Amino acid sequence: MRAVITISLLVGILAGCVATSPRNLVQSGLADTHLGWQPAPENQLAFSLATASGIARIELRPLPGELEVLSLDMPGMEKVEGVQWLGSDGGHAMLFSGVPEATGVTLERKPRGFRLVIAGEALELIRGGGVLTVIDYYRG
């Protein structure tokens, strides 16, 4: 419940290079994945998510060429087991599975949850759009 409230409070604006609303670039791919937008420095896209199932699916449309960093705060997640990418062109990659598997992916532990940062080569991999899936340790 607290994660959902946190997401509601984090709704903000996107500053910088993205001329379109971030809601036009990123959306929830599962009914229980709730996104909240955060203010971001120039050339960055930042948002948060809350999920009840421990699996979050986020659909990304093609990202602008000027975008340098994408960050995702996951305040309710306990132990991220994996981050997978399925491109709109059919390509796929494991970005994280206990350790970063793609250059430019970092997963930072925060007091509550994690922050996933995607930049560099990993950002170029996902730039064309597709589905990002984050899997948390979840045993129902």
Give the pLDDT score at 140.
54
Residue-wise pLDDT for 39-62, tens only, equals 888 889 888 988 888 899 999 999
Q: Is the pLDDT of residue 23 over 60?
A: no
Residue-wise pLDDT for 105-120, tens only, equals 999 999 889 999 999 9
Query: What is the rounded average pLDDT for all residues in the chain?
Result: 80
Give the pLDDT score at 9.
25
Residue 135 sits at the vertex; the CA angle it makes with 16 and 8, to the nearest 5 degrees, is: 50
Q: Is the pLDDT of residue 25 over 60?
A: yes
Band the pLDDT of 11: cuts 50, 70, 90.
Answer: very low
Report CA-CA distances (Å) from 61 to 89, 113, 140. 12, 26, 32
Give the pLDDT score at 21.
57
